[in-house]
Structure 1
Amino acid sequence: MVKVDLKKPLVFQVGHLGDGYDEWVHDPILGKEGPRFFHSNFLEFFTRTPWYAIPIVWIPVALFFIHNSLTMGVPPSNISQLILIGLLAWTLAEYLLHRFLFHVKTTSYWGNTFHYLLHGCHHKHPMDHLRLVFPPAAAAMFAVPLWNIVKLFSTPTTAPAIFGGLLLGYVMYDCTHYYLHHGQPKSDAPKMLKKYHLNHHYRISNYGFGITSPLWDVVFGTLPPSVKGDSKSS
């Protein structure tokens, strides 16, 4: 099998792994120092994002969309309901993106390269704290089609508030994801989520696609076997 030199920038190496890429990328390296992606310092800069950039960038955008619904005449009493719809819609989007896009099987050079940039790097270096949340530019590429989908299933006045709720759900997702890797939860619910997510990383990566909640894993039958067993024995 083609070897990857971890001392050199990785992005344009991993494509050469071919059908060995999936096995390689799911064999994690646990060090806290992340690898170099590109020779170019300019490109390298855009691959690193601190977790706090997510709420700083996206909460104002979410509030802008919610405010648009208010200015178009949606009663304040209805806004909270629309935000909740958006939050629920995000949990489904989170699950579908994680399961069907982030874990797509690739073997081609560009397929492997794209997947590594999108999600494979996180599985290979799960403790790399500057590549755990989405860079805002990359997140924006997902936000545009999601906005168009929201507009298809809602009215012109309600769509902005629903999308604002969806964006708040995204902020919750990325911040939760960071915390599950680097936080030390004390209470039962976050402890459970941390165990649930690390099980996805280190034990069985084709189950447990929910980050903020296992809801859709239950609905679509991708609850990890150990969780199923625990629930039966409890």
Structure 2
Amino acid sequence: MVAGGFTVDLNKPLVFQVGHLGEAYDEWVHQPIITKESPRFFRNGFIELLTKNTWWMIPMIWLPVVCWFVTSSVNMGLESPALLAATVVAGIGFWTFLEYSIHRFIFHIKTTTYWGNTFHYLIHGCHHKHPMDAYRLVFPPAACAILLVPIWNLIKLAVPPIYAPAFFGGGLLGYVMYDCTHYYIHHGKPLKGVSNKLKRYHMNHHYKVQDKGFGITSTFWDIVFGTLPPKSKSEEKIR
């Protein structure tokens, strides 16, 4: 594929190619290739393996961690079921805001430099270029663990000690729900209900209006911040 005078060879490892696209990168990466095949990222086989994950690894790894943090609050004295549940729900709400903010302001940042394009492709551009790649849809656990450290430290500063672990556990539970929902939206076949609406909403973000509709598990923050995609003509007629 040619963009900005540079030819991207899809038969060769992509990561160190995309940086050469310069200002043409943003247009190139938002022209999706609809295939379930996983593109090659790196020439080195071990590094390539580290870029791939299966969806079930997310709940398998992180749900025990969620339970440990929530239990920690109980052991510290948060024994009221109502308060415990409210704290966990608040953590989930915090995650939905984080989900929206990261997707909008980091995953969709505009880059033009070699290393900027390369970094963006690794964290999110690859998902827009190959949206049906099942092995690069959920976040790698090792990278997630690194990001959780500053988030946990922030929560410890902002939330009273007895509530902080349960709040963090709720946020982590929100993340698990997000990644599993995101995978299902792309690879499941919901026929009706909330999951079907979320799938249509997210597919609209991928294939029609890629600078709107940043929510994955809900449209709440898109409504709050005015980033809902415009309604189609068919939707307007229904109204």
Q: TM-score range by the shorter chain?
A: over 0.9
Kindly tell me: are residues 140 and 228 of structure 1, through their superposed partners in 2, closer, same or farther at Cα, counting changes over 3 Å? farther
One-letter code aligned to 1:206:
D
Range 82-91 or range 137-146, more displaced: 137-146
Report the CA distance between 1:228 and its aligned residue: 10
Among candidates 2, 9, 14, match of residue 5 of structure 1: 9
User: 1:155: which partner in 2?
Assistant: 160
Identity among equivalent pairs (%): 59
Report the CA distance between 1:149 and its aligned residue: 2.2
Q: Is 1:117 the counterpart of 2:122 in the alignment?
A: yes
Report the CA distance between 1:145 and its aligned residue: 1.9
Q: Is 1:30 the counterpart of 2:34 in the alignment?
A: yes
1:38-187 equivalent positions in 2, closer than 5 A = 38-77=42-81, 78-187=83-192
C-alpha distance in 1 between matches for 2:142 and 2:179: 14
Query: Aligned to 1:18, what secondary structure does the other structure show?
Result: helix
C-alpha distance in 2 between matches for 1:145 and 1:50: 25
Q: Which runs of 5+ in 2 are unaligned?
A: none
One-letter code aligned to 2:33:
I
Query: Aligned to 1:37, what secondary structure does the other structure show?
Result: coil
C-alpha distance in 1 between matches for 2:233 and 2:76: 46
One-letter code aligned to 2:186:
H
C-alpha distance in 1 between matches for 2:200 and 2:210: 13
Report the CA distance between 1:186 and its aligned residue: 2.6
C-alpha distance in 2 between matches for 1:196 and 1:47: 27
Report the CA distance between 1:104 and its aligned residue: 0.4
Kindly tell me: are residues 228 and 210 of structure 1, through their superposed partners in 2, closer, same or farther at Cα, counting changes over 3 Å? farther
One-letter code aligned to 1:66:
V
C-alpha distance in 2 between matches for 1:189 and 1:19: 38
C-alpha distance in 1 between matches for 2:237 and 2:101: 26
Range 219-228 or range 1-10, more displaced: 219-228
TM-score normalised over the length of structure 1: 0.96
Kindly tell me: are residues 221 and 135 of structure 1, through their superposed partners in 2, closer, same or farther at Cα, counting changes over 3 Å? same
Query: Aligned to 1:34, what secondary structure does the other structure show?
Result: coil
C-alpha distance in 2 between matches for 1:202 and 1:186: 20
Report the CA distance between 1:216 and its aligned residue: 0.1
Among candidates 200, 206, 218, match of residue 223 of structure 2: 218
C-alpha distance in 1 between matches for 2:32 and 2:139: 19
Report the CA distance between 1:152 and its aligned residue: 2.4
1:183-202 equivalent positions in 2, closer than 5 A = 183-202=188-207
